[in-house]
Structure 1
C-alpha cells in the first residue's frame, strides 16, 4: 500500500515538473536568432603561382630544368552565407567557383628558339569557412570585419596541352599522349571586408553591398603521367596556389 502511494506521488511530481518545464520553454518563433546574410558576387583571383620544375622522382629532366610556372589571374563568381548570432560575431561559409587557369613554363629549353611551352589547363574551386569579428554598432551604415578560418581547394578539369604532348613524344620520353594531374588541399584562410547597408523603407529586406579581400594558403603536387615503351613514367612538381582574392558582392539580411 505504501509502495503504491510512493509511486503515485512520484508520477504526480514528474508530471508537474514536466509541465512547468514545458511552460517555461520559449516558443522557437520568439527566439532571437540574430542576422542571416546571403550574398552573390564576383571574384578576382591572383594566384601566387610558385611551382617547382617538373622532374623525375630523383633525376632532373634537362629540358625542364629551372623552368618557372606562369599563371594569369582569373575572374569567377562566388556565393556566401553568414549567420551572425550576436552583433559582433559571425560565421561565414563561402564558395568561389571554378577559377580557370592556363599553365605556361618559362625557361624551357626543349624547343630551339622558344623559351616557353604550354603545360596545360586547370580550374580551382574553393570552399571557405570563417569566424568573423564585426566592428561598429549595427546602426552604422558600414560594418567592417575581419575573419579567420579554413579552406578546401579542389583542382579539377585538368588537361595537358597538345604542345606539351608533342614535346613528350618528339623528345622520345613518351610513346603516346600523357595526362596532367593536380589534386586538392586543406589549409588556413584570412579575410577582411566591409558590408554597406542600404535600408530602403519600401522594401522588406535591406540591400547589402560587400567588399572583401581574402588570402588563403593552398598547395598541391601535380604530376605528368605518360606511357613509355617499358610501361609508364611520371614527372613531379610542387605548386603553391596561395591566392589573393578580391570579392565584390550584393546581398541582403533577414
Structure 2
C-alpha cells in the first residue's frame, strides 16, 4: 500500500508539472512580439570626403605635397530588417553593399601639364544598427522616425592604379608595382525617415514604402606599400569618408 501510495503521488506530481508546462508554453506562444519589417532598396551615397596628402612616416614627398583626395558619389543597394516591440520603439539592422569609388589625387605636381593623377579604386560596405523612435502610432498612413546607432564600415576590393604605379617607378621611389590598402572602422550613425503604410485592403503582408536620410562617421588610414632597392617602404594618409545617404526602400511587415 505504501508503494502504491508513493507511485500515485508521483503520478499526480508529474501530471501537475505537465499541466503547468503546457500552460507556460501556451502563454509563450501568445506573447505579443510586436512587428517585424523587412525591406530592400537603393542607396544614393554622397561622401563628405577629406583626405590628407600621401607622405612618408616623417618626410613629405614633394610631388604629393598638398594633394587632396577626390571621389564621386555612388549608387548601390541596401537591405534592412526592423523589429518594433512597441508602437514607438524599433530596432533596425541595415546593410549597404559595395559602393564603388575611383580615387583621384588633385593638386598633384609630378606630371607636367596635369594637376591630377589616378590613385586607385575601392568599394565600401557598411552594416548599421539603429534604435529608432516613431512619433506617430500605427493608425497613421505615414510614420516619421529618428534613429541613432553605430556602424561598421569595411573598405574592400582595393587596387592601385596603373598610372600611380608608373609614377612610383618612374620617380625612383619603387622598383616594382605597389599596393593600396584601406582597412575598416567603427563609429556612430544617425538617421531620419518615414514609413508609408499602403495596407489599403488589409493584406496579410502589407506593402511598405520607406524614405530615409542617413549620416555616419567613418575614417581610415590608407597606405601605399611598394618595394624598394633596400626592401620596402610605404606612404601614409588619413581619409574621412563620413557620407550622407538617401535610401528608398520597399518591403512588408508581419
Q: Secondary structure at the match of 1:175?
A: coil
Shift of 1:98: 0.1
Give the Cα–Cα distance (whole angstroms) in 2 for the partners of residues 10 and 213 of structure 1.
65
2:159 is matched with 159
Partners of 1:37 and 1:144 lie apart in 2 by: 15
Q: CA deviation at 1:15?
A: 4.5
TM-score (ref. length: structure 2): 0.93
> Secondary structure of the residue that 1:103 maps to in structure 2?
strand
SS at match of 1:153: strand
Which residue number in structure 1 is paired with residue 207 of structure 2?
207
Return the alpha-carbon distance in structure 2 between the equivalents of residues 88 and 56 of structure 1. 52
CA RMSD of aligned residues (A): 2.1
1:156 Cα deviation (Å)?
Answer: 0.4
- Per-residue CA distance 1:120-177 (angstroms, 9 max, x = gap): 0000000011111111110100011111111110000100011101110111111111
Q: Please state whether the residue corresponding to 2:158 is helix, strand or coil.
A: strand
Call closer, same or farther: CA 1:202–1:88 in 2, change over 3 Å.
closer
Mapped to 1, the partners of 2:22 and 2:226 lie a distance apart of 71
The alignment partner of 2:165 has SS state of helix
TM-score, L = length of structure 1: 0.93
Q: How many residues align?
A: 253
User: What residue number does 2:180 align with?
Assistant: 180
- Equivalent residue number for residue 21 of structure 2: 22
The match for 2:147 is 147
Partner of 2:163: helix, strand, or coil?
Answer: helix
Q: Which of structure 1's runs of 4+ aligned residues deviate more than 3 A? A: 7-21
- Unaligned ranges ≥5, structure 2: none
Match of 1:195 in 2: 195
Structure 2 partner of 1:41: 41
**Cα distance, 1:24 vs structure 2:** 3.9
Q: Which runs of 5+ in 1 are unaligned?
A: none
